């Protein structure tokens, strides 16, 4: 098959997975990081008018290009992405006690920042939902090599789906470009994985795709707490 034919088949597979999800779970959300993978899912959901709520987390430290993509989605599809933000008092307390950039000092302080800016808003966003969808892929990180396409999220007490789990980087970009999907321009400037501005850098040739995320830490600790497959609820609560 040609690359174009392959991606048509791959999109159809993902659409079938999403169709199955919404038939089983009437209240389902896509948690979008506004990264390339999530834009693939956003495009399929909105083009096919699937009843999937789409939300994102604005941590208050995102790149301007990332925030700007929210408006570009509205202009392209006529659809508003719901935005959840951290509790201002929690952010202020962290900054007063530790400093605005304390996440560089230790993994613990970095995870505490992620807990305030990401984990707690995610919990609010998923409240009342029966399932959530992510753009995670197995090839993204050493912490995701065994990623299933469906799993139970014990922390939030709902089902979690990763429809692109078996997709390659080439699959993602062929899909985006063939469908003219808007995406974050930082991807064109060497950012394959994009998080908060102070915690993300462009990668160098030959580096792992997530090398630019929390680059001062070892690769086996590079998760923020949003995707914890084996952690207990008490362990995640400590991050908060």
Give the tokens for residue 141. 């990180």
CA atoms within 13 A on the CB side of 200: 20
Give the tokens for residue 39. 């834009």
H-state helical runs in 25-78:
36-47, 64-77
The residues assigned a catalytic role are 224
Residue 39 to residue 182: CA distance in whole angstroms = 7
CB contact set of 85 (below 8 Å; sequence gap of 6+): 57, 58, 59, 60, 121
* Cβ contact 225:205 at 8 Å: no
In the chain the beta strands, taken as DSSP E runs, fall at 28-32, 53-57, 82-84, 131-133, 150-153, 158-161
């Amino acid at each position: 098959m040609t690359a174009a034919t392959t991606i048509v088949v791959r999109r159809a597979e993902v659409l079938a997975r999403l169709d199955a999800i919404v038939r089983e779970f009437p209240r389902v959300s896509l948690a979008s990081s506004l990264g390339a993978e999530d834009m693939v899912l956003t495009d399929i959901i909105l083009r096919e008018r699937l009843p999937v709520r789409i939300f994102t987390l604005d941590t208050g430290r995102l790149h301007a290009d990332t925030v700007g993509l929210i408006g570009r989605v509205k202009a392209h599809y006529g659809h508003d992405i719901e935005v959840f933000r951290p509790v201002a008092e929690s952010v202020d307390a962290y900054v007063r006690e530790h400093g605005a950039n304390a996440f560089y000092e230790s993994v613990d302080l970095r995870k505490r920042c992620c807990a305030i800016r990401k984990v707690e808003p995610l919990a609010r966003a998923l409240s009342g939902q029966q399932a959530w969808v992510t753009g995670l892929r197995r090839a993204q990180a050493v912490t995701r090599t065994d990623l299933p396409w469906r799993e139970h999220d014990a922390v939030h007490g709902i089902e979690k789906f990763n429809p692109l789990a078996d997709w390659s980087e080439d699959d993602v970009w062929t899909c985006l470009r063939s469908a003219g999907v808007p995406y974050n321009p930082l991807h064109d400037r060497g950012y394959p994985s994009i998080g908060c501005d102070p915690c993300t850098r462009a990668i160098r040739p030959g580096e792992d795709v997530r090398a630019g995320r929390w680059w001062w830490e070892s690769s086996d600790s590079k998760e923020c707490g949003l995707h914890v497959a084996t952690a207990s609820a008490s362990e995640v609560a400590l991050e908060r």
